[in-house]
Amino acid sequence: MSRKRVVIVGVGNVLLKDEGIGVHVARAIREMGLASSDHEVQVIDGGTSPDALDAAEGADKLIIVDAAQGGGEPGTVYRFRPDDVSAEPRLLTSLHDLGLLDSLRMMELIGKQPRETVIIAVEPAEIAWGLELTPLLKEKLPEIVRRVIEEQSLTITSAR
């Protein structure tokens, strides 16, 4: 049996407090050092780069961690798939306009999408200049990390 490949990409801007939650989660998971003989896990600090998802080409599962304003209480953790999000197609005038969903659609168009994609998103408390998470999201960081690791484990369980 071949090893399943899971890619975890934390995205966001760490210069804007809670907007960088995905990057903080990726860094925390990297420090934990996930290892298994059954699967390969790659953890990427994607920052604000639209190329960050390229590493997920052909992966069995892509888990994206990002901030999202869904209207819930700050710190609320959402789980959804790209198809769950309704986004109107829009004209891109530059590659700098490329968003997360645009990158996923481009991967699908060229046939390089992962077999499964899940987005773990966190409602920010504050998006403003600053390198640190707000105290609320700093306190929730271990819970968010646990949710991402559980999501990664779901792939392992279903692969057996």
The least confident of 17-26, 46-55, 87-96, 147-156 is 87-96
Question: How many Å separate Cα 19 from the centre of its chain?
Answer: 12
Provide the β-strand partners of residue 77: 122
Write down the pLDDT at residue 120: 95
Write down the pLDDT at residue 122: 96
Write down the pLDDT at residue 159: 43
Q: Which residues of 123-155 are buried (b: 16+ CB within 10 A; e: fewer)?
A: bbbebeeeeebbeebeebbeebbebbbebbeeb
Contact 75, 137 (CB under 8 A): yes
pLDDT tens digits, 63-108: 999 999 989 999 999 999 988 876 666 555 554 456 777 788 888 8
Rg for the chain, CA atoms, rounded: 15
Q: Decide if pLDDT at 138 tops 60.
A: yes
Closest CA to 26 of 46, 48, 5, 56: 46
pLDDT tens digits, 3-41: 889 999 999 999 999 999 999 999 999 998 776 667 889
Which helix (H) or strand (E) segment is 156 a member of?
A: helix 135-159
Write down the pLDDT at residue 160: 40
**Residue in the structure block whose two tokens are 């052909």:** 58
